[in-house]
Structure 1
Amino acid sequence: MVVSKLESLPSELVVEIGDYLDACDLYRAFYGLNHRINTILDHQCHRLDVNFIRISKDQFDFYCTRILPRIAARITSLTLPGRTIFVHLLSLKLVEFTKSDVEILVPHLHQFVYLRNLSIGEYTRFMPFNINTNELFQEHVVLPLSLRSLAFPYEISDRWIQTSNSTLSIEQLHVTSLYMDTLISFMQRFPRLNRLTTVLSNPGELDLIAENISGSNIMFQSLRYLNLNIVSDVSFPQFASFLRHVPQLHTLIIEALNPDLLFFDAHQWEANLSANLSSFRFDLTTTSPVGLDHLSLLKLFKSDYWTSRGWFVQCHTRDRGRFFRLSTSQSPIINLLYWPDDEILVDSTSIIRYPHVTYVELWWNLSKSTQSICPHVRSIQFYGANIGEIETIHPNVLDLLNASSFEHIIIDNDVPISPTRLAHLLAKSSDRVSILTCSTHWLHSLFETRDNECICLLLTMRIRKLILNNSDLVLSYADLISFARTFINLQEISMKLVSVEEMAFLLNVLRQLTMASIELPDTELRNITNLTQWIIENTVFRNFTIEKRAGGLDSSKILLWIGSHNRSNLYGTQHQLYSNHPIMKENILENYL
């Protein structure tokens, strides 16, 4: 009996099957079998039909996020169900919807009678921007009575949700912008609101706004969480007046650029913050700090009022004082990014302040003090610049590099330190540093210059675990040979490769490995029916445990936990697996033997 395989189907038959199958089913069944099938689907199947009747929500989510973006321009037939589909929907998120799309949708929202969460747009944090009046959303909205959480990324007018009782149940609200003069009246429509995220701005007369807010006796007892980006035209007295209307506030997060200078005054905050406030974070920046005494301002935030609550404040200046930033410090992750002329004003006695910090981000200018506030740091991510001489490392930075817990160096992908700087750091670090995370691009820059051979030798001596990320660059065979030589002593590795031949090469050369996580395209693994047997036949490993996991849309991860190696016929094994390997034959044997 002849058993045919799907990946061997003739091209004409694949195209003909595409005329009968639903497009989403077609791609789910055939895409990724091999490169030929992928090419046929993408370039020869021009008329695709999509049917969304009688599919589950999980299928619907998968189709919309994984398949439709690839085939949307070639869909010629779309079958949608009537209003009865998804009637029990609890959560709905709409991405990349225009204002006109939303205007069409709004009249139908009330039909989702079980809907609890509605999110329109894709965002995590709103920022101030100039409002386009054409985008002003003034339509009357009727929301489902069941709704609890609403994220609505549109500038809203006073007419929005004026007469409807559909807002009575909403507990979480995320809107683009609110004006100070309508804030009180707007929040009255949400009596159960406990979380609000928005941009707070000021449209008109300051005195009138302050009078409207302070003159109101309404208390918003339900509001617990407030996350605001405050525009520069909002005065601190206005904002303080509003805070007095939220006595049960537990969390306050504020971000502001060039705010009223009273926002930098610790005494002003102490006089207006609720006694129930347990979490307070702010990030205040001004580019014109005229008349500000940085040290005096910071000193006020060192009082018992702040330290007893665990609210620790730091101050940064740059450009000779023309840039001034006051912010709270977060634990357990601390960000210490410095520009060359940056100055951090944190007392050196703060070493006991963050005993649980295990991760730090550090700018390349190592001559600046980090104040050694992280005695238990395990990993440091270094941002860098490839210009300038290697500077003297500040004693406090040396304390970090020689912390007994420090073991992991992370090289930033976007602004990486140079190989020379890494060597400088390794030379100054304790012997416990043995883990390196970097990008494939960074490794390529390391291997392309012969001047870096000493640095490669240092990595050979020190690094035992390597994590490669941002792997859009494929290492050449020459790079793989340099890679194997440099990291010959690796015990653990995590990386992405493009072929099983490359995986076999590295597994056979890196003889000290105890664990490997290799991501490969699914097309490379389709023809391997027994992965365990393939490892036995193509590597020196005999004692190992293997597991295959899903990676991306068209890739899988191979996890190997490796025991002792087979050494019974090591010479024969090496000759068979190495000498005939395409990487070795192409780059070494043919050139030197």
Structure 2
Amino acid sequence: MLLEDLPNEVFIEIIRCSSTLDLLRSFYNLNLRISQLLFAHFRTSTIDFRSTTLHDFRLVCREYLPLIVNQITSLRLYNDDKTPQQMEVFLEHGLTLHQLSNLQSLSLYGISLQETMFSTISQLRFLNRLTLADCSLSCNQTASQNFSNTIWSLPALTYCYLNISFKRDSFILPTVESLSLRCLSIWGIKYDQIQFNTICRHTPCLEQCSILFNMDFSDPVDPFQHEFPSMTRFRLHSSHIEENHLNYVLQTMLNLRQLIVDIDSLDSHSSSPIFNGYQWETILRRYLPHLQVFRLRMKFSFPDEDDLDGQVADLLRSFRGRFWLEERQWFVQCQWNEEGQACLYTLPYRFTDFQTSSSMQCLSTCPNNELFSTFHYVDDLLMEYYVTQPEIVSSIRFNNVRDLSIHPSISNQFLSRISQLEQVTSLTVCITDSTDTNTDLQTLLNRMPNLSSFGFNPWSLHPRRLSLLRLTHPKISLLDLRYAWQHLEADDCAMLSQSPLGQQCEVLLVRIRKCDAVLDLINNMSNLRTLNIQFDDDHFEETNEDEFVPWLQNQLPSTFLISRDPVYATDIHIWIG
């Protein structure tokens, strides 16, 4: 049977299992029937070129995207460690966002936003979902306000996620009203109560909101003049909250059904470093009569390290009243270490990240410790292991971890808390004096068959180089060695490029002493497609004079794309083409 003779049902299944790039290269313009199936797929699926090589992405922009612009309803573009400068390549081929006349969903990751994009985005009249994640914008507050108004003026927009780093003292603050926006998340900037009030007043139909809040005791309290009856879900992140500020915010959301509060590292100057159960009960009873879901996480330090057990008991006692255990059946758990660092959270644990250690103690208000012992939603886990401290047995288990940070010499008992190590795709390790960098690391890698990313955390001691370079794993394609050595010398780069992991590496993040070593890495690592470099004597942030990017552009082929990261200026990206 010929490929063209396969029934539609089979082709549809093939399409669902294939990447956008593979579909275009394999099936585009094969015949009218298959082209129609592809168009139908593009109209309902996201065009995503994550991890695409520069050569392939240029091919797509040159040969395919101009022919399907009217079919695209959802698009993602990246500027990250794997695929830097996708937007630049997209634009240099004469493509613009407003050509995508039927675009309904746009996601940009790590993009340096330009003021010229404002008018382009304003023409996307069918856009109902906008995601700008880890992006940057360099402009004054007037231009920033114009950008905000552009977004708030999109007639069909219902969902908006904004995580933007402003290079100047600017922020998202619209002056026009959006009647379509229902779900809004704003990160990267801390908003005070008055600014949040302004956002809500210009988004009167808002139903779901997530925001990074600054509620310092010194900020003036501005009683809201408007109620927001449409708000049903509210997620608040802050490093500090004062009770009167929180009261003024919540009393405007009488129809709230879900409240998520995440407080991280409360300021030590606070007169009340955390809210106890009595305070939360008062707030929830008084202002949120329709609340159905309450999720809480508070990271803090106990004021007295000499009486930790007593302070934990007092805190948990405040969550053991009739309101918590009988009326709502909302349970909390507190974990703490010997230094008094603690975290209190509601059960079941529904946040996606979690941090624990082998010496961490836990107590909860739940009568059955096994009822919520598996943290199903955690996919990003940090496990600290202290060989010099007694290991405390815990019932907490994890079964969906994808991103793991860990000590290689961890005990089997502690590691057994992760039930499915084969699901881990990203591993970050901490090297200490007790680590056998060859045996411990290789054993750990062998237990994670689907690992694709491997690196070291900033607190690692420098591992023995030859031991590290002997490690093997069939699927690792990204190496983050920025903390494995101070800066690589020329001989280090030579050894790395000839090592098993170096030969198969596609994405490399590394610190280098001298420029010349970059050329050796590129010439000798045959699978390398993206390089992220930090140079030892790069003073660009202090002087604003760039000697490295021009030098690299002069030494490397003109088909390579070389740029500084728009947020982390010491990072230089090389996309090999």
TM-score (norm 1): 0.50
In structure 1, the partner of 2:275 is: 264
In structure 1, the partner of 2:488 is: none
**Conserved 8 A contact 2:205-2:230:** yes
Give the Cα separation in 1 of the matches to 2:119 and 2:90: 28
In structure 1, the partner of 2:104 is: 90
Assess, with a 3 A threshold, how the Cα gap between structure 1 residues 50 and 313 changes in structure 2: closer, same or farther: same
Q: Give 2:395's match in structure 1, choosing from 369, 372, 375.
A: 372
**Conserved 8 A contact 1:199-1:229:** yes
- The AA in structure 1 aligned to 2:294 is F
Give the Cα separation in 1 of the matches to 2:210 and 2:401: 33
Q: Give 1:470's match in structure 2, choosing from 463, 469, 476.
A: 476
In structure 2, the partner of 1:194 is: 207
Please tell me whether residue 112 in structure 1 is matched to residue 124 in structure 2: yes
Cα offset, 1:238, TM superposition: 0.9
In structure 2, the partner of 1:253 is: 260
Give the Cα separation in 1 of the matches to 2:121 and 2:63: 24
- The AA in structure 2 aligned to 1:221 is P
Q: Which runs of 5+ in 1 are unaligned?
A: 1-23, 30-37, 427-433, 450-466, 474-478, 481-496, 499-520, 522-593
Assess, with a 3 A threshold, how the Cα gap between structure 1 residues 73 and 270 changes in structure 2: closer, same or farther: closer
- The AA in structure 1 aligned to 2:179 is L
Assess, with a 3 A threshold, how the Cα gap between structure 1 residues 402 and 56 changes in structure 2: closer, same or farther: closer
Cα offset, 1:316, TM superposition: 2.8
Question: 5 Å matches for 1:514-525?
Answer: none
Question: 5 Å matches for 1:445-524?
Answer: 470=476
Assess, with a 3 A threshold, how the Cα gap between structure 1 residues 422 and 304 changes in structure 2: closer, same or farther: farther
The C-alpha deviation readout for 1:437-482, integer Å capped at 9, x for no partner, is 585989xx9xx99xxxxxxxxxxxxxxxxx9753558xxxxx99xx
Give the Cα separation in 1 of the matches to 2:403 and 2:477: 18
Cα offset, 1:269, TM superposition: 0.8
Q: Give 1:299's match in structure 2, choosing from 307, 317, 334.
A: 317
Cα offset, 1:244, TM superposition: 1.5
Please tell me whether residue 312 in structure 1 is matched to residue 308 in structure 2: no
Q: Which runs of 5+ in 2 are unaligned?
A: 1-20, 27-51, 456-462, 468-472, 480-498, 505-526, 528-577
Q: Which has the higher contact order (CA 8 A, sep 6+)?
A: 2
**Conserved 8 A contact 1:91-1:116:** yes
Please tell me whether residue 275 in structure 1 is matched to residue 289 in structure 2: yes
In structure 1, the partner of 2:250 is: 243
Assess, with a 3 A threshold, how the Cα gap between structure 1 residues 169 and 286 changes in structure 2: closer, same or farther: same
The C-alpha deviation readout for 1:244-268, integer Å capped at 9, x for no partner, is 1111212222222215536431111
**Conserved 8 A contact 2:173-2:199:** no
- The AA in structure 2 aligned to 1:267 is Y
Cα offset, 1:115, TM superposition: 1.8
**Conserved 8 A contact 1:135-1:154:** no
The C-alpha deviation readout for 1:39-89, integer Å capped at 9, x for no partner, is 9979xx99x967964333677958989998589999996334795x32222
Find the residue that maps to 2:429 and give its secondary structure: coil
Cα offset, 1:271, TM superposition: 0.9
**Conserved 8 A contact 2:336-2:343:** yes
Give the Cα separation in 1 of the matches to 2:203 and 2:53: 53
Question: 5 Å matches for 1:64-79?
Answer: 78-79=93-94
**Conserved 8 A contact 1:336-1:370:** no
**Conserved 8 A contact 1:253-1:281:** yes
In structure 2, the partner of 1:351 is: 369
Give the Cα separation in 1 of the matches to 2:231 and 2:209: 8
- The AA in structure 2 aligned to 1:79 is G
Find the residue that maps to 2:294 and give its secondary structure: strand
Cα offset, 1:243, TM superposition: 0.9
Find the residue that maps to 1:137 and give its secondary structure: helix
In structure 1, the partner of 2:407 is: 385
- The AA in structure 1 aligned to 2:392 is S
Assess, with a 3 A threshold, how the Cα gap between structure 1 residues 365 and 359 changes in structure 2: closer, same or farther: farther
In structure 1, the partner of 2:233 is: 225
Give the Cα separation in 1 of the matches to 2:85 and 2:316: 53
Assess, with a 3 A threshold, how the Cα gap between structure 1 residues 314 and 420 changes in structure 2: closer, same or farther: farther
Find the residue that maps to 1:150 and give its secondary structure: strand
Cα offset, 1:192, TM superposition: 0.9
- The AA in structure 1 aligned to 2:407 is A
Find the residue that maps to 1:413 and give its secondary structure: strand
Q: How many residues align?
A: 399
Assess, with a 3 A threshold, how the Cα gap between structure 1 residues 407 and 304 changes in structure 2: closer, same or farther: farther
The C-alpha deviation readout for 1:553-590, integer Å capped at 9, x for no partner, is xxxxxxxxxxxxxxxxxxxxxxxxxxxxxxxxxxxxxx
The C-alpha deviation readout for 1:403-459, integer Å capped at 9, x for no partner, is 9x9998979832389799999xx9xxxxxxx986585989xx9xx99xxxxxxxxxx
Find the residue that maps to 1:138 and give its secondary structure: helix
TM-score (norm 2): 0.51
Please tell me whether residue 173 in structure 1 is matched to residue 184 in structure 2: yes
**Conserved 8 A contact 2:77-2:107:** no
Give the Cα separation in 2 of the matches to 1:40 and 1:197: 35
Please tell me whether residue 150 in structure 1 is matched to residue 160 in structure 2: yes
Greater C-alpha radius of gyration: 1
Q: Give 1:342's match in structure 2, choosing from 353, 357, 360.
A: 360
Give the Cα separation in 2 of the matches to 1:407 and 1:108: 45
Cα offset, 1:199, TM superposition: 1.3
Find the residue that maps to 1:168 and give its secondary structure: coil
Q: Give 1:138's match in structure 2, choosing from 136, 145, 149.
A: 145
In structure 1, the partner of 2:18 is: none
In structure 1, the partner of 2:303 is: 289
In structure 2, the partner of 1:529 is: none
Give the Cα separation in 1 of the matches to 2:85 and 2:402: 39
Give the Cα separation in 1 of the matches to 2:357 and 2:249: 37
Cα offset, 1:372, TM superposition: 3.0
Give the Cα separation in 1 of the matches to 2:210 and 2:369: 34
Find the residue that maps to 1:238 and give its secondary structure: helix
**Conserved 8 A contact 1:336-1:363:** no
Find the residue that maps to 1:301 and give its secondary structure: coil
Assess, with a 3 A threshold, how the Cα gap between structure 1 residues 61 and 383 changes in structure 2: closer, same or farther: closer
**Conserved 8 A contact 2:77-2:87:** no
Assess, with a 3 A threshold, how the Cα gap between structure 1 residues 82 and 346 changes in structure 2: closer, same or farther: closer
Q: More deviation in 312-321 or 56-65?
A: 56-65
Assess, with a 3 A threshold, how the Cα gap between structure 1 residues 304 and 410 changes in structure 2: closer, same or farther: farther
Cα offset, 1:239, TM superposition: 0.7
Give the Cα separation in 2 of the matches to 1:118 and 1:287: 38
Assess, with a 3 A threshold, how the Cα gap between structure 1 residues 413 and 246 changes in structure 2: closer, same or farther: same
The C-alpha deviation readout for 1:88-143, integer Å capped at 9, x for no partner, is 221222333435x14x23245443222212223348xx9xxxx9977982337241
- The AA in structure 1 aligned to 2:103 is L
